[in-house]
Amino acid sequence: MAGITKTEFLDARMIQQAVILNLIVIGEAAVQIETEFPDYARDNPAIPGRNCAACVFA
């Protein structure tokens, strides 16, 4: 992460929560694409599916 050290990140609960929230949003979006546009998701394998790490939070 640019501009912040690992120690600073681990000491900053607000930043950790912001990162977690962003992962949740990414996971929910990935699942929604797969659910609502299965042909598009199938034709674009670079889009993470239900098994992506971010989707664990969704």
| pLDDT value of position 26 | 85
- Summarised one tens digit per residue, pLDDT across range 1-42 is 579 999 999 999 999 999 999 988 888 888 888 889 989 988
Residue 1, in any domain of the structure: no
The two tokens of residue 31 are 């699942």
Residue 46, in any domain of the structure: yes
Residue 28, in any domain of the structure: yes
CA distance linking residue 45 with residue 37, whole number of Å = 13
| pLDDT value of position 16 | 95
| pLDDT value of position 29 | 87
Whether the CA torsion 2, 54, 48, 34 is positive or negative: it is negative
Report which residue type is found at 41: A
What's the domain count of the chain?
1
Exposed / middle / buried, residue 30 (Cβ in 10 Å: 0-12, 13-18, 19+): buried
**Range of the structural domain that residue 19 is part of:** 6-57
| pLDDT value of position 58 | 47
| pLDDT value of position 14 | 96
Residue 24, in any domain of the structure: yes
